[in-house]
A and B are shown apart, each in its own frame.
Chain A
Amino acid sequence: MKKLIIIFFVLIILCGCSKDNDIYEKNIYVMDTVINIKVYSEKDASDILEKIEELYNEYNILTDRYNSYDDTKNIYYINNILNVGEEVKLDYKLYDLINFSLEFSKKYDKVNIAMGNLIDVWKKYRDSASGIPSYEELNGISSISESDIILNDGNIIKLSDVKLDLGCIAKGYVTQLAGELLESNGFDKYIISAGGNIKVGKKYSSNPYKIGIQDPVDKNNIYKIVNVSNRSVVTSGGYERFYTWEGVDYSHIIDPDTLYPSNYMKSVTVIMEDSAYADFFSTYLFMIPISDGINFVNSNSNIEAIWYGLDGKIYTSSGFSNYE
């Protein structure tokens, strides 16, 4: 009897202290948005969060199209200062990002990072919210060909006045790096929220992360909730930055083939592990008809997606129900 009592009390004392997960949170103001990071961990995550803020800031500078920074050859530099035919060495981070994007484009050429000239034309009309560019204007723009960008052993050369715009894929790429940085430092339970781009690690409770997908028509509403862990959830849609002219909506995602904004759907949301690829694929799927997109995703076991059609109908890939 006494032995039993002792054993019980020893058990209580030994197992009594339940490990508590603290939440470390940080807001980073960068890339035209607020990035919110929550890390669930027993050990202090403040240092790693500082490093992640540095990471985002570095890439923010490197991918900035509109500002120049001393001693940094960033996108602004490449687009506006670098001479045609001149070869310069790039920061390896920017080099890798451009290289990664060009490799992706070789297989999926709708996702084009050299569309700066085309995007600028539409941006002009979108900012004034009136009119659309004429056929002549669109055809008269300078090059949007990615083959005018040559990468060679850490250096870059442009063969024309092509302009890079990494807008639709930079956030996903850096978010993937941020997630990898967290995981390699032993923080595997986290959620990085960057507007239309969310990456989560291992679940911090018995439930996976619940992520809501905003209804493109009624922004106060969530039209779908997904349960994910170790995944990225990325949405591409025309409803956040668009303008309407003569009854037609023009989104900010321009199709390099038609030279007009894509309008096959209201939004598409991609779920897959890698955030960079998720960002690329969500942009890609936005620019092809929904039926083509469904066929593509169904033939790819790493990706699931959900589409919100122009008619309000919802379409999902075959394995999407795993996340519902």
Chain B
Amino acid sequence: MDTKKLTRMSMLLSISIVLGIIESFLPLFDGSIPGLKIGLANIVIIFTLYTYGLKEAILISIIRVFVIGLLRTGLFNYPFFFSLSGAFVSVVVMYLLKKIKIFSIVGISVCGALSHNLAQIFTSYFLLKVNSVFIYLPYLLIFSIPTGIIVGIVSKSLLKYYDFN
């Protein structure tokens, strides 16, 4: 990887971390629906996916989860594994959908949000083994629509203005 790319990816990583931390201080609905967030960090992920590719997007996602784990949620505890699974699954899903070319970037962002939440809930079910985690599913899913749209629109604009290639 050349220096330019390394530098740019580091910046993207930092931005996604900062966005993630800011979000962690602004819980929606007083935290009554765990895992509900706007997903601003995903703007960076989508940007990376479209600018560089899958590998780079996965890298930034995973490192971001680790760093935020170090700083906010704690490493190797339940929230950490939920975030990790959500981040990983949503990047892969978005990459595959991008390849198939059915949806626009907004639609992909919505799917990214959807799969992120689905992955988190299923991971929490397997780790905690309680049925009650599924109660949050409808609310998380319905919120992935507006949050996905917003993130998608922002990403689209950013990609228009910043062409790293």
Contacts and interface: CB of A to CB of B under 8 A. Distances in A.
A20 to B, nearest CB: 9
B59 A5 contact: yes
A8 B76 contact: no
Contacts of A8: 62-63, 66
A18 B1 CA distance: 35
A16 B126 CA distance: 14
Interface string B80-111: 01001000000000000000000000000000
A248 interface: no
Contacts of A5: 59
A111 B1 CA distance: 81
Nearest to B77: A18
A26 B153 CA distance: 58
Given A1-B1, A8-B66, A18 B59 contact: no
Interface string A1-31: 1000100100010011010000000000000
Contacts of A12: 84
Contacts of A18: 76-77, 81, 127
Interface in B102-158: 127
Contacts of A1: 1, 6
Interface string B1-22: 1000010000000000000000
Nearest to A17: B76
Nearest to B66: A8
Contacts of B63: 8
A12 B59 CA distance: 14
A18 B129 CA distance: 14
B142 to A, nearest CB: 31
Nearest to B127: A18
Contacts of B6: 1
Contacts of B1: 1
A155 B44 CA distance: 82
A8 B69 CA distance: 14
A12 B69 CA distance: 13
Contacts of B77: 18
A243 to B, nearest CB: 46
A294 B81 CA distance: 50
Interface string A60-90: 0000000000000000000000000000000
A12 B58 CA distance: 14
A5 B84 CA distance: 15
A15 B76 contact: yes
A16 B123 CA distance: 13
B123 to A, nearest CB: 12
B20 to A, nearest CB: 17
Contacts of B84: 12
A12 B85 CA distance: 12
Instruction: List the 5 closest A-B pairs by CB distance, nearest first.
Output: A15-B76, A1-B1, A8-B62, A18-B76, A5-B59
14 contacts: A1-B1, A1-B6, A5-B59, A8-B62, A8-B63, A8-B66, A12-B84, A15-B76, A16-B76, A16-B81, A18-B76, A18-B77, A18-B81, A18-B127
Given A18-B76, A18-B77, 12 more contacts: A1-B1, A1-B6, A5-B59, A8-B62, A8-B63, A8-B66, A12-B84, A15-B76, A16-B76, A16-B81, A18-B81, A18-B127
